[in-house]
Structure 1
Amino acid sequence: MKKTVFMLTAVALMLLAGCSNSAAKTDGSKDSQAQTKSEVTIQDANGEITVPKAPEKVVVFDNSALDTMNVLGVGDKVVGAATNNLPDFLKAYQKVESAGGIKEPDLEKINALKPDLIIISGRQRDFQEDLAKIAPTVFFSTDNKDTWKSIQNQVNAIAKIFGKEDKAKKEIAALQEQIEATKKKAADSGTALVLLANEGSISAYGKGSRFGIVHDTFGFKEADDTIKASTHGQNVSYEYVLEKNPAIIFVVDRTKAIGGDDSQNNVADNALVKQTTAGKNQKVISLDPSVWYLAGSGLESVKIMIEDVNQAF
């Protein structure tokens, strides 16, 4: 009898242990699933990076990313930004904490903010390693060889982080429709030249440049297809502009975007420019510098840029 009781007790203990192990495995599996769901892997300019899913506290230096977050309805997650260098349409974010200058992040301040995620652009690239020690740091950079595709990739990456993929899809589709309409008009509008004005000097930009979206996405023909693509453009003279004689001249006033003496930046008033087809037809068009120079690859940015170039029609 004692032997039987002992055997039954042993069996019961084994069953309990089995249930306990099973429960432990189940709980562990749930923990594992929760951990997986709390992170997401995206593509940034460096490749794949795993970041927190739906972060609650984000420091944003990339104005275009801030733009996209705002449109996607997650701007309330921003706790810090380069508040002194915001485009006009993002001025509402001046109320968040200043995280430093657009080229010099305040590492001590950012650390004190305890962000879950940091988003940077090329202007903060030198600080990426230091920022990554504070929180996962995403680096976005537009590929000027295929601007629109690159912009879509950035938007989709941000949407994936915050679980806003459906919203991003609708916004991109709406922009695509506007882009197609602009391309049709641009095809018959003649050649165009993009100039950056900076305290009296001018630089030209073509395909593959920071303003290449005018040509590769919006469809304007280049007045000069030999312009060397570079961050700062190709330094040119007003004689050059007259020689190329574009039907449309788009002007980005860098000085108005960042400050300085812009008294010599009125390209339309130049005597040689007035002799061009663009000058004669009042097609010297000023683009919003706070968008084109300080942002340019966010959802609202692209919408404003489309409206800007449509002034040519």
Structure 2
Amino acid sequence: MSRKNLFVAGAVLALAAFPLLAGSFGIDLVTKIMIFAILALSLELLVGMTGLVCFGQAALFGLAGYAAVRLSPESESASMWWLLPASVAVAGLYALFMGALSLRTKGVYFIMVTLAFAQMAYYVVHDTPLGGGTDGIYLYFKPTLAIGSWTIADLDKPLTFYYLVLVFLAVVFAKLALLARSRFGRALAGIHASEQRMRATGYSTYPYKLAAFVISGCIAGVAGFLFAVKDGFVNPELLSWHLSGSVLIMIILGGLGHLRGAVLGAFAFTLLQELFQSEAVFGSFAKHWHLGLGLAIIACVALLPRGLIGLPAEVRRRLSGEGSVR
């Protein structure tokens, strides 16, 4: 087994064992981080694997969350067997619509068009009764995961939901790893390296990019569904450009071009945010947590240009450099 596989297996085992040592706050926090890690993996497919810098990922995340709440009955629990696919389908369809038009542009224009689509979705839920306005809407009954009368998982229990999210994270990671090794994944890598050269070799790059965009949207939809179920509440901030920017920072912080980097970045960014927001650590300075977080991210990017995933190699390089000087 390679070191990469050992790292992934060790990380999964550590996350599985974490609830044995953590309290309710820790379980809730890591559950949220794992959901953000799924969202970061969805953006990694676009940015790291295909070279498409998208600023509308939060719209796909938020729309799936709103769909999960809006499609759920107010008097009883919905079945997760149909609610999850329906929520993901909403995100996937909007990704198809957004990608079909935005992929006609390139570079900064592509970024701006995806941002425009995200803001359009944001203002629909913010300014219309469909999304409950600024107050958001509540999920009165969490969905059930059952076969007949046999309940597979009680999603009202934080520990059960924690392990469900862990399973989703592992499956999404494994699927994207397989996709990267497939012919489709190699085509995306070629588009990332040189789209013009791919076209010269006979590839029609537009369908590949659109397929990647829709797959990314569906994965973001899974994360949005899980987030809505976790909190039992959605509001327009789930679709804001601030969240899209945060997820982009996560994959850059972790290391672009690596699935492990997207997960590491989600953990690092969220834990740094929690650290600088802690009044127990920073006292009254905690209200200026944006400043501390920004400085920490700048330091990480400056010292680790390849992201956190490149930290071991950077340490080895520095140690070998010191050894050669001596």
TM over 0.5: no
Give the structure with higher Rg (CA): 1
TM-score (norm 2): 0.23
Higher helix proportion (structure 1 or 2): 2
Greater share of strand residues, 1 or 2? 1
Q: Which has the higher contact order (CA 8 A, sep 6+)?
A: 2
TM-score relative to the length of structure 1: 0.23
